[in-house]
Structure 1
């Protein structure tokens, strides 16, 4: 353990030192330094209230995946797509389900959004449930933490991920535009086609997008069971995927703003590679309305009003395709935001949000229900403000929220939540800044944490909640140091998060049957509360990240979660060190990436085996042709080129479900 921490610290310091030296050299070339900021694309972070670009998000750590970078990293799930970003790891349930984990926090503590509205699926309940937002048709994917997260929920202790597909147009296209892509992957005979097109008829903006993906069980490098030559090899059973999405939107657009509606459908069927071999059949239909009014009154920059209704369900199927548990969620969300002009030096957004959800996870076989029918309502007000005091930049947010859980056969609970965050950044010399953020966030226990009392076949557990749970209270402090301009840029963060009444699932070791009686079919998982702390460090350095010629990115991150009473939190991410080397020259783009994850032996009391370290090597190559008004890009992507047997420490299936082996993706993309 000490050796691991020493190696990580040494790698961070070495990377910062080496690239600071490189920056000193390029600083001598005045013209290159002057052009550096122009090289970085100004992509707007839509989930922040002030419409700033990624490079301006100093107090709210932000990462945007867009353009070529997003297409290169696009995986079969949202977790896989984001898994090599700073501070972000992923859960793993085969190719069909993988959710982002931010700084060791997962589930409902990481808010999932689509165009700034909750995805309203049940992926936060368990890692075997896929996120319903489709990255294949996304224009960009945003990762945020800090004060801006309070706009979307008090429970977003870890942060939020926003998938932006611009399904409701906010601007008119002079000519029809769009992008289509098809790709094939060798490891699973994966076939996929996706696309989106935008057009305008008069003042009406139109949008259409869709995605079709099919993949078979993927190849694995070694045996299914780690160190067990008698277990399956060749392909991982029940790792297939079948997904279709279709979305359409229209809006009226003018100088005053825009107002529009959209509808989207999702049908997704994928295998769960447990030894029992279950499947999930998922479907969703989603309706959204979005409006923005520019300068409606004096002193008001804009007003946004949004509505979203989601009808979601999925069935967990056994090997004979018989349903065992039926999950349903009906959710209505409303949001209203007002961004005011600077007032007494403060610029900010105030708003209200309501959510009304009807959720259940009922037995299809007449046994105990996993989660009873429960209606949840929440009403919140929030405020996010920023100002400058001399050279000091301040950012603050607050949220008050009331949450009610009303089950049909258990006691009703109400939680009054108060959360706030304050950050400051000081540019102590040109191009360099240091900052600090302090936040307190409260989270109401999720429905399943309160009222579970039945089998969850996909995870092979019998879940037991506790209706008397208290609300979680997180106290977080983060310190940062960064270089924010020039060809060479870097940042380093350290953080500590103390959580009172942290809720986690504890595998007791007892085995029961589907009725909860002694047996050998399911492991008993009991939700418990205890004090916990998560601390960690991150560092990232880049050179010429978006310019022509050579580019470089290196990063390292580590986090550790512990219970105050002793022992580690379950499913902790491994410490990692990674590097990307890229090259751009006209129509040619190429890159190589290397990620080293260390052995993870910080185990919870019920975890038995350490997760071995691994080295993940990837590469990409693309060539773009200009044909008329369109760009045609041919690309090839290689993943896990060393064919390593990779197990994720964050997956409850790590012992039986390795990641795919060596994989080559071939595809063509057109943009017009």
Structure 2
């Protein structure tokens, strides 16, 4: 069977390459489009990022890789893997760092949800309506604070318009997926009246339990097969924005609503209902003062809530986050060759995770007691060219105060954080660059790491925080080499990250719903937040040829990382395995096609308390699309097959790897249009 699958994949690749071969010689005069990264202070291109290597997904590439979750969408990008708690919840993991170390943004502002708390919590940001998704690999705490010590993902949907359009423009898509009988409709529309720009976007997704290629528990026929129980998803989002746009800049506001419901594929059969209402304000003033290019300010307000329900519908725990974030950036004109941005950022939030029977704040075993957080930060990023060398340096000072409810008996904690970075990119010949970056980034322990003390129904864990945890300090050094011009491009990165006081969850024995040891009948597994020094090191390489031009396009990549606790305490939990991947695409006229292959090694390095080692797998995806034009409006018909070989795929980064395989072979068909 394995040999047949390998031959099938080889045949598809060979056929595509044969069809594309005649056009190889026609590509030498084409150039690839420039891509800018909005989550950086200078909106530079991808190839000019110094302090954090960047990747941007947009257009057809984003649509073809779109999954039910943000983690699934980005899981085949360089240096990015994904957590998985079923199809409803999956978060990006960047270079072995996850949760509160990877910041998820929407239009440059934090999503302010509860997804950093646990892998079963969905990200309250929708990729289906995004114009592009940006990934900053490596420490980005300089710009976005303590929660970006490992990296940043920015979902850009342009909900607040910054330019006026002459006539209404937009896009819409419908798709159906066979593996879960999934239906999805998404749309995004921009228009204007006078100097007012308007935007509307929405998405609806409905999917049943998905089909799996083998047994629920690997090798255990008695565990069930066919479909993964309780793996359904229902998701909806709606957003509206408007702005007043003039030559001097713009000022606008938006409102967005997310409403999700998804199952947790564990024996408990619990499910989560999630609701978020978000308001944003965005303003830009060009040349506000002498010697300054722009003044930009943003305000985001979020009312987030999700409830974890038992199978019978009773509520177990309710998570709430009320948060207000503000950001001010002032960019100055070059002074003595230095071009930079000064910024201020504040965040105030009230976070809690309380059992259904807790109507006050004094419950002795609140999953997380009501806790107020206040933070304020100032940052500066500067950039200057020294001949062929572009240097960049920056610093951030941040004050964070955690204030748990007095009735919980926990103490307040104050943290003063300092993050610094310096780097250079040497263009030693046109199109080739050598970069070196060093950074120190600090992170305050999150609310759940400090104050957890209760049962978490969806994960079947009893979480115990430590109010005495110290701040993390990450010392990172990275060397990169890249070719950024021409049809043939490549990049390679090596990094070493030494983290003092690394916080991680250590699994213990079985306990009851009060946290008392119960090795026989206990329904929860004790998870204690601990702290120790750690090291994460790794390497990435990517090679591409004519990825977005006519004719054949190629991409190959590999990434690897290893996270270890020092003092002989073993490996960090939930670490990604070494991966190798390749893509072949073909574009000619109205036709586009592609095949991608991703191979992941067997999990060989596990934390001391991880019992299950994930086997290796090879995932093959294929796509074909045709675009027809009707009255100057393109309509694209597409078909994709994901997991073409119907592999039993289990992720080393998933706490449910033993009992929740990824979905089997999935045929996706649909139509999209732009107008």
Q: TM-score range by the shorter chain?
A: over 0.9
**C-alpha distance in structure 1 between counterparts of 2:35 and 2:239, whole Å:** 23
| 2-structure distance, mates of 1:276, 1:565 | 37
Unaligned stretches of 5+ in structure 2? 1-23
8 Å CA contact 2:50, 2:424 repeated in 1: no
Partner of 1:644: 647
SS of equivalent to 1:98: coil
1:552 pairs with 2:554? yes
CA RMSD of aligned residues (A): 1.2
Q: CA deviation at 1:148?
A: 5.5
Provide the residue aligned with 1:92 in structure 2.
84
The within-5 A match list for 1:68-467 is 68-145=60-137, 149-366=141-358, 368-408=365-405, 409=408, 410-467=410-467
User: What is the distance in 2 between the residues matched to 1:668 and 1:406?
Assistant: 50
Other-structure match for 1:635: 638
Q: Secondary structure at the match of 1:440?
A: strand
Aligned position for 1:480: 480
2:513 aligned partner = 514
Q: 1:33-44 maps to which residues of 2 (within 5 A)?
A: 33=28, 35-36=29-30, 39-44=31-36
Structure 2: how far apart are the matches of 1:139 and 1:43? 12
User: How many residues end up aligned between the 2 structures?
Assistant: 640
CA distance in 1, matches of 2:500, 2:646: 42
Cα shift readout 1:445-490 (whole Å, capped 9, x = no counterpart): 0000000000011111000000001000000000111111111111
Residues 592-618 of structure 1 show CA distances to partners (whole Å, capped at 9, x for unaligned) of 000000001201010112110000000
* Alpha-carbon distance in 2 for matches of 1:484, 1:74: 26
CA distance in 1, matches of 2:43, 2:84: 33
Contact 1:59 1:425 in 2 (8 A): no
2:18 — aligned with what? none
Give yes or no for contact 2:139–2:149 (8 Å, CA) kept in 1. no
The one-character-per-residue Cα deviations of 1:434-454 (angstroms, maximum 9, x if unpaired) are 111100000000000000000
CA offsets, 1:177-228, max 9 Å, x none?
0001000000000000000100001000000000000000000000000110
Secondary structure, counterpart of 1:449 in structure 2: helix
User: Structure 2 vs 1, CA of residues 148 and 102 (structure 1 numbering), >3 Å: closer, same or farther?
Assistant: closer
Counterpart in the other structure of 1:596: 599
Structure 1 residue 149: Cα displacement: 4.8
Aligned-partner Cα distance in 1 for 2:35–2:604: 39
* SS in structure 2 at match of 1:151: helix
Higher mean displacement: 483-492 or 202-211:
483-492
Q: Separation in 2 of the partners of 1:511 and 1:32?
A: 62
Q: What's the counterpart of residue 534 of structure 1?
A: 536
In structure 1, list runs of 5 or more residues that go unmatched.
1-25
- Spell out, residue by residue over 1:137-181, the C-alpha distance to the aligned partner (whole angstroms, 9 max, x if none): 000000014576521113312110000000000000101000010
- Maintained 8 Å contact 1:216/1:240: yes
Task: Give the equivalent residue in structure 2 for 1:655.
Answer: 658
Q: Structure 2-normalised TM-score?
A: 0.93
Aligned to 1:12: none
Query: 2: CA distance between counterparts of 1:665 and 1:155?
Result: 35
SS state at 1:224 partner: strand
Residues in 1 aligned to 2:129 and 2:271: alpha-carbon distance in whole angstroms: 25
Normalised TM-score (structure 1) = 0.94
Tell me the equivalent position of 2:586. 583
Q: Which secondary structure does the structure 1 equivalent of 2:211 belong to?
A: coil
Say if 1:440 and 1:474, in contact at 8 Å, map to a contact too.
yes
Listed one character per residue, the Cα deviations across residues 495-535 of structure 1 (whole Å, up to 9, x for unaligned) are 01000000000002x21111112221100000000000000
> Does the CA-based 8 Å contact 2:94-2:138 persist in structure 1?
no
Closer, same or farther: CA 282–127 of 1 in aligned 2, 3 Å: same
By how many angstroms is 1:429 displaced? 2.4
Look up the SS of the partner of 1:60 in the other structure. Answer: coil
Q: What SS class does the counterpart of residue 528 from structure 1 fall into?
A: strand
Q: How far is 1:55 from its partner?
A: 3.1
Q: State the alpha-carbon separation in 2 of the partners of residues 424 and 275 from structure 1.
A: 52
Label 1:569 to 1:87 Cα distance change in 2 as closer, same or farther (>3 A). Answer: same
Indicate the larger mover: 478-487 or 126-135.
Answer: 478-487
Match of 2:577 among 564, 574, 593: 574
The separation in 2 between residues aligned to 1:608 and 1:43, in whole angstroms, is 43
Q: Give 2:13's aligned residue.
A: none
Report SS of the residue matched to 1:68. Answer: helix
| 1:505 corresponding residue in structure 2 | 505
- The reply on whether 1:619 has 2:611 as its aligned counterpart is no
Q: Secondary structure at 2:148's aligned position in 1?
A: coil
| Conserved? CA contact 1:622–1:634, under 8 Å | yes
> What CA deviation, in whole Å up to 9, does each residue of 1:74-131 have, x standing for no partner?
0000000000000000001111000000000000100000000000001011010000
Which residue of structure 2 aligns with residue 14 of structure 1?
A: none
The offset of 1:57, in angstroms, is 2.5
Q: Distance in 2 between matches of 1:148 and 1:235?
A: 40
Contact kept? 1:147, 1:422, Cα under 8 Å: no
Checking the alignment, whether the CA contact within 8 Å between 2:574 and 2:653 is kept in structure 1 is: yes
Q: What do residues 321-348 of structure 1 show as CA deviations (whole Å, max 9, x unaligned)?
A: 1110000000000110001110111111
Contact 1:147 1:384 in 2 (8 A): no
Partner SS state of residue 97, structure 1:
coil
Aligned-partner Cα distance in 2 for 1:44–1:290: 19
CA distance in 1, matches of 2:434, 2:141: 21
Asked if the contact 2:139/2:441 (under 8 Å) is kept, the reply is: no
State how far apart, in whole Å, the 2-side matches of 1:386 and 1:242 are. Answer: 45
2:141 touches 2:147 (CA, 8 Å); kept in 1? no
- The 10-residue stretch of structure 1 (293-302 or 492-501) with the greater mean CA deviation from structure 2: 293-302
What SS does the corresponding residue of 1:81 show, helix, strand or coil? helix
Mapped to 2, the partners of 1:235 and 1:612 lie a distance apart of 20
- SS of the residue corresponding to residue 52 of structure 2 reads coil
